[in-house]
Every structure is written in structure tokens, then in C-alpha cells.
Homo-oligomer: A and B are copies of this chain.
Amino acid sequence: MAEDVSDAPAGFAKEQLKSLIERIERLEEEKKAIADDIKDVFAEAKANGFDVKALRTILKIRKEDADDRKEHEAIVDLYCQALGIFA
């Protein structure tokens, strides 16, 4: 669609492009603001004597645990498939 402007109102694709770019830029600003908030929380934690590296590790582990839970549910099934066993 975007490359075929011959049968479109003049500037249509251009407007659409502008809109897409601005939406993405807006979202990226929001994302950056949240990233900054996260940094602030880490800074606060550090100011209160917490070991930031340890906090990061805890967060990482909790994330992995959450991610793995779904995955591990599928493993037994997959092993069975892999072995040609009908569980």
C-alpha cells in the first residue's frame, strides 16, 4: 500500500508514515521514562544499603523461575514425544 500512491489521495502514505513515526517516538519516550523510573528505584535501594547486584540477581532468578514454570510444564510431554512414548 505504502509504495503505491498513484491511486491514493495526495499525501496519504505520507500522512500514514508521519503517524507511524510519531506513534513509535511517543512509545519510545514512554519506555525511556519507565527505564528511568527503574533506575531511580535501584538508586533508592542502593541509598538504603541494598546490594544492587544482588537485587538484580534476585530479579533475574524470579523472572527465570516464572518463565521456566510454563516451560517445565511442557517438558514431560516433550520428553515423551521425543521418546515415542504416549503419556
Contact = CB atoms under 8 A, between A and B. Distances in A.
Work out how many copies of this chain go into the complex: 4
Contacts of A3: 49, 84
Contacts of A54: 78-79, 81-82
A73 to B, nearest CB: 12
A84 B4 contact: yes
Contact of A58 (B41, B48, B79): B79
Given A1-B48, A3-B49, A25-B62, 19 more contacts: A2-B49, A2-B50, A4-B84, A13-B83, A14-B83, A20-B55, A23-B41, A24-B59, A27-B37, A31-B35, A31-B38, A34-B34, A49-B84, A54-B78, A54-B81, A57-B71, A58-B75, A58-B78, A61-B75
